[in-house]
Amino acid sequence: MALAVFWGNTMKIVILERNSVGEDIDVSDFGQFGELVSYPVTSPDQVAERIEDADIIVVNKSPITAEVLSKARNLKMVAEFATGFDNIDVEECRRKGIAVANVSGYSTDSVAQHTMTMALYLLEHLSYYDNYVQSGAYAASSSFSNFDKRFDELGALTWGIIGMGAIGQKVASLASAFGCRVIFHSVTGHSSVKEYEQVGFDELLRQSDILSLHCPLSDLTRHLIDEPALAKMKKSAILINCARGGVVDTAALARALEEGVIGAAGLDVLEKEPIRVEDPLLKIRDPQKLIITPHMAWGSTQARGRLVQEACDNIRAFLNSEMRNRVV
């Protein structure tokens, strides 16, 4: 598809979920390709109508199904505002000759940073010590220090990782810089990483003082961290999940935290998002045991800027007949 054929003011570019990258991130660059229409959010039942005359659509989680595609009479490309593309019927796009491109690697530093932040917050009982000062207890104390809650140096601990892709390797390098012994487990058994010790799943659970998850959600990883797995972990262990919510059995984790099976957990992802009011994790009100953030680990200002730029570059490459980050 040549640039001369498609690039011009007659093209229509539709962003279905503009707010998915944050209102503070400028998306006006998409307007260089033609008429730009941007919707803050789009519900599944609005997708077909909003893209029926679009040439290019930019999506995040909007379902691009075969039915939706059948009503998009001009569609030539679907640009993902994400790495994952399971919201798109890829085979139907292939059959119709519709290009699909995603963005990968934009959030590695951001997710790794958030992983470390959560681990340190829980490891050092920062919520307790902040409350100790804010409550006035420190001002009333006769001692200049307080050691109510013991904490360890990272250099004395073993950090376990499941998912040694780009994010997992970044976390491993950061943990190593703090002096941690780093071990990892490959769910598929096919990791080529040699810099860190690879161990079996049960061994990883038994040895890890901090266990962070950075693996995709698949049949191999769904509820990988379940009740039997949690029971094999140290009672003092900290679990961090910045991967996918479904890797952890929510109900099992809630019980494990309530019963002291493990020490604490930091979660940026959940099985159901946004969190449901009936989620058993909401019953745990102790911030020393559990911290939950709203799926924002990926979203540093820089990461979201990179995501938008990469999506723009994907469209430009498509219009210039270049294959870039193409799924189809």
Domain CATH number, residue 26: 3.40.50.720
For residue 10, the model assigns a pLDDT of 81
Indicate if 59 and 74 belong to the same structural domain. Answer: yes
pLDDT exceeding 90 applies to what percent of the chain? 97
Catalytic residue (choose from 244, 304, 306, 310): 244
Indicate if 141 and 219 belong to the same structural domain. Answer: yes
Asked if 57 and 14 count as a contact pair (C-beta separation under 8 A), the reply is yes
30 within some domain: yes
**How far apart are alpha carbons 312 and 306 in whole angstroms?**
10
**How far apart are alpha carbons 24 and 4 in whole angstroms?**
33
248 within some domain: yes
Alpha helices in the chain (DSSP H): 3-6, 47-51, 66-70, 90-96, 108-123, 126-134, 166-177, 201-207, 227-231, 250-258, 301-319
**pLDDT at 262 exceeding the cut of 80:** yes
Q: What is the DSSP string of 275-296?
A: PPTT-GGGG---TTTEEE--S-
Return all residues near 245 (Cβ < 8 A) that are at least 6 apart.
217, 267, 269, 270, 271, 272, 273
79 within some domain: yes
35 within some domain: yes
65 within some domain: yes
Mean pLDDT of 49-60: 98
Indicate if 117 and 225 belong to the same structural domain. Answer: yes
Catalytic residue (choose from 255, 295, 316, 326): 295
Indicate if 200 and 284 belong to the same structural domain. Answer: yes
Domain that holds residue 309: 3-106+301-319
User: CA quadruple 144, 148, 153, 154: dihedral positive or negative?
Assistant: negative
Task: Tell the residue number behind the tokens 């995709």, with chain if given.
Answer: 216
Number of domains in the chain: 2
For residue 3, the model assigns a pLDDT of 45
Known catalytic membership, residue 322: no
The pLDDT tens digits for 173-224 are 999 999 999 999 999 999 999 999 999 999 999 999 999 999 999 999 999 9
**How far apart are alpha carbons 110 and 244 in whole angstroms?**
15
On average, the pLDDT of the chain sits at: 96
Indicate if 133 and 273 belong to the same structural domain. Answer: yes
247 within some domain: yes
Mean pLDDT of 248-257: 98
Known catalytic membership, residue 244: yes
Using alpha carbons, select from 83, 82, 81, 86 the residue that is nearest to residue 16.
81
Asked if 76 and 54 count as a contact pair (C-beta separation under 8 A), the reply is no
**pLDDT at 54 exceeding the cut of 60:** yes
Indicate if 257 and 308 belong to the same structural domain. Answer: no
Indicate if 101 and 119 belong to the same structural domain. Answer: no
**pLDDT at 1 exceeding the cut of 70:** no
Q: How many CA atoms within 13 Å lie on the side-chain side of 241?
A: 27
For residue 151, the model assigns a pLDDT of 97
167 within some domain: yes
Indicate if 154 and 285 belong to the same structural domain. Answer: yes
Indicate if 123 and 88 belong to the same structural domain. Answer: no
Euclidean distance between the first and the last CA atom of the chain, given in angstroms as a whole number: 14
Asked if 38 and 15 count as a contact pair (C-beta separation under 8 A), the reply is yes
Catalytic residue (choose from 94, 273, 322, 324): 273
For residue 2, the model assigns a pLDDT of 40
Known catalytic membership, residue 295: yes
Indicate if 100 and 122 belong to the same structural domain. Answer: no
Indicate if 102 and 191 belong to the same structural domain. Answer: no
Indicate if 184 and 61 belong to the same structural domain. Answer: no
325 within some domain: no
The pLDDT tens digits for 239-251 are 999 999 999 999 9
